[in-house]
Chain A
Amino acid sequence: MRLDGRRNDEIREIKIKAGVLKRAVGSSYVEWGKNKVYAAVYGPREVFPRFLTKNEQALIRCRYNMAPFSVDERKRPGPDRRAVEIGKVMQGALEPAILAHLFPKTMIEVNVEVVQASAGTRCAGITAASVALADAGIPMRDLVPACAAGKAGDQIILDLGKEEDNLGQADVPVAIIPRTGEITLLQMDGSLSNSELEEVIRLAMTGCMTVYEKQKEALRKKYEVASHD
């Protein structure tokens, strides 16, 4: 039994809302366990700085940031090395799904802001970003859900919570393109045997499919409410 009473293959409670920021072209808000994350999408628009313009497709730019009040000890504002890394892996996770060749010479900006952090923020961020991209009308092959699995207390578990992540043996965040099963994000923090890793990845992928259903529900909900007038 885990610290918060969950089963080994049980994911934390997730709530997703699409279209929450008026000024962004697309946006979403995700509550995942105790995590609270916003995603905002801007574009397609002109590329700044100009020299990064890609002639054949849109440039996807991802920014991940943690608010100073999102963690126990105040986090100094501004991107640190971890945030830069997460921005880069987010781009790697989302780009394969985006039909970027439809908007040559433009830039699609994805901004993820963590306002409350409790392990698994990059998965929550990618999940939120994916919904925000759909909300912005950016053409994509599919939505991209993300979920982590790992090992703590010698148990293979799904969706590590804060203590499990800090004191556990391994944390493996995964993002997939559900329709084809392609993995677009795979990282590991810790150590696992080969067979354990396979099991963890498979477990994470089932977690992703659960998240996928929540993403779809959030997008459908946005338009169902409007039709009852």
Chain B
Amino acid sequence: MILVEDRNLVLPGTKLAEGSYGSDVGTYKEKDAIYASVLGIAYVQKNTIRVVPLEGKYMPKVDDPVLGVIVDEYPKGWIVDLECPYRVTLDPRDIFEKRFSPIRIGDLIYGKIFKVTETYEAFINAKRPYGRLEGGRLVKIHPSRVPRLIGRGGSMITQIKDQTRCDILVGQNGLIWLLGKPENEEFAAQIVQKVDREAHTSGLTDRVGEMLKRKS
């Protein structure tokens, strides 16, 4: 028996269901019942319940595109900061480095995670179409709200790109890169932050559409 409605806000310890259901992300099972383990929104499907956390750090996953800053250098490669609890390595073989502009600590990299070990150490590849990014502006949002920023089939992010006339790269780890004229970058940053704040509410797509129309 399911005890919560779809899209309810739940807290750690909230009882979600009794009986045999699948316990997905954000939940745990104890003695024939499923409980929420995080503060988040519960999504009820036929036989599984999951809770999408409203907060929390990014956990590296294979095939995720991410953005990060180089923070350390080793003979084996560089360490990239994805704002996650685990170490992320960039091997020199996985990026194209121009002879007279080498990769340095502080550089911003756009890459794709291609390997995650059992202990959550991750490795990224930054060859074309990924690579080092120059200029532009970096915005941080909650990793759990990235799907909302992208929208169904990319609808939300495409709308923002078009109306703000900015290049936008979205990392699954919550780092967003914007490139355009300074006023446009600033405006795009505001939109992105609005989506971050209100991701769990309804009617957001309309409100964002209005905000974009008003400015342009």
The interface on chain B, measured as residues whose beta carbon lies within 8 A of the other chain's beta carbons, has a size of 29
* Interchain CA distance A104-B118 in the complex, whole Å: 10
A226 within 8 A of B: yes
Binds A, one of B31-39, B89-97, B146-154, B177-185: B31-39
Contact A179 B37 (CB under 8 A): no
Interface residues of A (CB under 8 A from B): 25-26, 43-46, 97, 99, 103-106, 134-143, 178-179, 216, 219-220, 223, 226-227, 229
Contact A44 B12 (CB under 8 A): no
Contact B119 A105 (CB under 8 A): yes
* Interchain CA distance A179-B30 in the complex, whole Å: 11
How many A-B contacts at CB < 8 Å in the complex? 84
Q: Which A-chain residue is minimally distant from B56 (CB atoms)?
A: A137
Contact B200 A227 (CB under 8 A): yes
A-B contact pairs, 16 of them (CB 8 A): A45-B85, A104-B119, A136-B55, A137-B38, A137-B55, A137-B57, A137-B144, A139-B38, A140-B37, A143-B11, A219-B11, A223-B54, A223-B200, A226-B198, A227-B198, A227-B201
Q: Which residues of chain B are near A25, meaning CB under 8 Å?
A: 55, 57
Q: A-side binding surface: helix, strand, loop or mixed?
A: loop
- 12 more contacts with CB within 8 A, not counting A141-B13, A143-B12, are A44-B57, A44-B85, A134-B39, A139-B12, A140-B13, A141-B12, A141-B35, A219-B39, A223-B54, A226-B198, A226-B200, A229-B201
* Interchain CA distance A102-B60 in the complex, whole Å: 13
B68 within 8 A of A: no
Contact B13 A226 (CB under 8 A): no
Q: Which residues of chain A are near B85, meaning CB under 8 Å?
A: 43-46, 103, 106
